[in-house]
Amino acid sequence: MEKNNGRRVILFPLPLQGCINPMIQLAKILHSRGFSITVIHTRFNAPKPTSHPLFSFLEIKDGLSETETRTDDNTWLFTLLNRRCETPFRDCLTNLLGSSSDSETERISCLIHDSGWTFFTRSVAKSLKLPRLVLNTYTVSFFLNHFALPKLRREVSLLSQDSEQDDLVQDFPPLRKKDLLRILKEKREYLEPYLNMILETTKSSSGIIIMSCEELEQDSLCKARDAFKVPIFAIGPSYSNFPASSSSLFTQDETCIPWLDKQEDRSVIYVSFGSLISMTGPELTEIACGLRNSGQPFLLVVRVGLVKGTEWIEAIPEELMAKVNEKGKIVKWAPQQEVLKHQAIGGFLTHSGWNSTVESVREGVPMICLPCIWDQFVDARLVSDVWRVGLHLEHRIDRNEIESLIRSLFSGNEGEAIRERMRLLKEKVGRSVKENGSAYRSLESLIDHISSF
């Protein structure tokens, strides 16, 4: 860490694993550059302060009932959080600023909040005369275009022709029409007003921070700079120097690492569907069968709650479990960054969340994409259609399809070509975070920007 620069930054993550990880990584980056860090967080999905002893943590009440925290409608959940957290957040921030004004050695530079905090962050920061930046945890391609979803929902009847399912969506590249139909089928009663608030809150900010880089999304970044008219800092996948494992909301099973140590190099398919996805028992069985039939050793993450109505893996028939255990290992949660770095990993069957996608690129691991919700459909198309460093299951959870794509990825000309493109992309992205790289320069600009407040 550089010498303390006498400035403090306030961070306010949205309480989901995929939002907490990049916010904590950003906190580590800023702390390494001399800033003191305070994290304001909700009681729901609170990060663990003991994992980050150099930061200050302040919990605010969120007013959520246990039933409300179990909803699978994230837009509704975010709307509730935005409605109920305004007063607790305002009081917390006011107290912090009051304490800072009494200090002769340190002052608060700015607030950085997740783009999902919309209803009150702008007005609260403005009333307290505090500069405000937005952290976007999506791919730029998704964030830039997803404001068109309400308009596209009204036009959804025009997209239902079976013969056009594979066509690109002109207003939302690189999505195919069949991807868009899946996004729009999700229950999102509160979607339009929520998106409008995100857009207004982002455009009125002092800057946007993005965990991506020019090498991954140059065209989208150019369009975003034109659209938002505020500074955009694409600081890249900087997690390699600041791992996210310590910000995990789940207990990680470290026994998978010695198991990987016993496998041949680039032989294992790693399978994980993130912290939000749910599936049925028969779907999990199809995945397990496809993995077993592929002949490749595999590390399968089955999060508690992945299969609704079950405790854990009892949905997999006993006779199949016996065969699964011959070639694979199943854990409840894995230290993903450590797993993807491991020399035994040769592929990643993923839900295509943005964090998982950039981690896989950073480690040069080709992907098989099975997107399930929201931005994952865009991430998967970037992987399979734009960067061409992976294969797409095309939303089919079928044992034969899974087996076929694993075999294609690990052997044959197609797999070899994918691995070579991934090797080149890994090198490009790796250069971006090194001195004079695009992400490195963007980070330097961000530090200067925050220091100017």
Nearest to 292 by CA among 407, 413, 409, 390: 407
In 3D space, the residue among 388, 392, 355, 387 whose CA is nearest the CA of residue 371 turns out to be 392
Q: What is the DSSP letter of 125?
A: H
52-85 exposure pattern, b = at least 16 Cβ within 10 A, e = fewer: beebebbbbebbbeeeeeeeeebbbbbbbbbebb
Give the Cα separation of 33 and 26 in Å (integer).
11
Output the pLDDT for position 245. 54
Phi, psi of 157 (to 5 degrees): -65, -25
* Separation between Cα atoms, residue 21 and residue 243, nearest integer Å: 9
What pLDDT does 441 receive?
95
DSSP sequence for 91-114: HHHHHHHHHHHT-SS-EEEEEEEE
pLDDT for 102 equals 61
What does each C-alpha distance from 63 to 83, 124, 226, 418 come to in angstroms?
Answer: 9, 19, 38, 48
pLDDT tens sequence across 9-21: 999 999 998 899 9
Q: Among all chains, which residue has been given the structure tokens 């729009």?
A: 184
Who contacts 370 (Cβ-Cβ below 8 Å, separation ≥6)?
Answer: 273, 349, 350, 351, 352, 380, 393, 395, 397
- CB neighbours of 10 closer than 8 A, spacing ≥ 6? 38, 39, 40, 93, 96, 108, 110, 111, 112, 130
Q: What is the DSSP letter of 247?
A: G
pLDDT score, position 412: 82
Q: Which of 141, 119, 35 is nearest to 378 (CA)?
A: 141
* Yes or no: domain 7-245+433-451 corresponds to CATH 3.40.50.720: no
Fold of 250-430: Rossmann fold (3.40.50)
Q: Which two tokens stand for residue 208?
A: 């946007």
Q: Cα 418–420–424 angle (5° rounding)?
A: 115
Give the residue carrying structure tokens 């663990």: 48
Q: By C-alpha distance, which of 106, 133, 109 is closest to 201?
A: 133
Query: What is the per-residue pLDDT across 85-120, written as a single tens digit (0 to 9) for each?
Result: 999 999 999 999 987 666 666 889 999 999 999 989
pLDDT at 188: 66
Enter the pTM of the model: 0.92
Report the alpha-carbon distance of residue 47 to residue 28 in Å, rounded.
Answer: 14
pLDDT at 253: 87
Domain boundaries, the chain: 7-245+433-451, 250-430
Rounded CA-CA distance 129/124 in Å is: 9
For residues 314 and 321, give the distance between their C-alpha atoms in angstroms, rounded to a whole number.
Answer: 9
**Residues in the chain, pLDDT under 50:** none
8 A C-beta contact, residue 206 and residue 398 = no
Q: How far apart are CA 421 and CA 317, in angstroms?
A: 38
Q: How far apart are CA 431 and CA 99, in angstroms?
A: 41
